Amino acid sequence: MEKIALVRLREAGNIVQFLVPSDLEINLQDKVIVEQERGIDYGEVLEISEEQITSTLRKIIRKMTPQDLKKVKESIKEAKDALRICTRKIREHRLKMKLIEAEYSFDKKKIIFYFTAEGRVDFRELVKDLAKIFKIRIEMRQVGVRDEARIFGGIGPCGRTLCCVDFLKNFEPVSIKMAKLQRLILNPSKISGICGRLMCCLVYEHKIYREFSRGLPKEGTYISTSKGRGKVIAVNVLKREVYVELEGGVVEKVNYSLNE
């Protein structure tokens, strides 16, 4: 069994699994330096476990030192200045893009600008201008509105920190069918997050709703009961109860077991 750590990259980045070297002692909330595909990066340890590794994982290199923390703080401050400069250049080039965030790589060999846009953007001239100013590698990275919400953070309708900021590793597809299955009011303001997309939490209970709805009749259909034939007017999925309107307006409750 190997020791595995869940690490949130940077301040509000993705949550990634890393292998913990046997000679490295780490604890929850430790700030660490990690291997990444494009170099080294930093993050915070959220969880530590022992697992049987079935795939290749990158390693935690070491704990962050006071010098590392100072370097990160300086980079964050400089990234804010870079954001202002890039915003001005975007206006000069009249590009239809919304700049979201800027960040330096840990080794400060490149700077990444995150933006949203409705379609493809030709930012080649913009990159040339920025390269002349910063004299390092420039990377423009287009992200979606969910990534934008993760970067900015916020509080959801439930009163808690956004799931994408707090614990979600990846964004899963969310469909309106999930809301319909859970009998939610299909009002965009009720089922959408601050990103404007369907709330990620609709996924959490979808599996159990799908299982419990198996074999239940749909509203508006006609079924036979012990007291006669009638129209299904309401369905309680979790209780597996169906309410049927019989002749004369009488409502009959019918229970279904999971084996039916």
For 79-102, how does the pLDDT look when each residue is reduced to its tens digit (9 = 90+)? 999 999 999 999 999 999 999 999
Span 173-192, average pLDDT: 90
Burial (Cβ within 10 Å: 0-12, 13-18, ≥19) of residue 181 = middle
pTM score, two decimals?
0.73
Nearest Cα neighbor of 219 from 247, 191, 238, 245 is 245
Q: Largest Cα–Cα distance of the chain, in whole Å? A: 82
For 55-75, how does the pLDDT look when each residue is reduced to its tens digit (9 = 90+)? 788 999 999 999 999 999 999
Span 229-251, average pLDDT: 90
User: What residue ranges do the domains of the chain occupy?
Assistant: 2-64, 68-143, 148-209, 222-255
Residue 260 has pLDDT above 70, yes or no: no
Fold of 68-143: GMP Synthetase; Chain A, domain 3 (3.30.300)
For 167-181, how does the pLDDT look when each residue is reduced to its tens digit (9 = 90+)? 887 788 999 999 999
Residues in Cβ contact with 5 at an 8 Å cutoff, skipping those fewer than 6 apart: 17, 18, 19, 20, 26, 32, 45, 46, 47, 48, 60
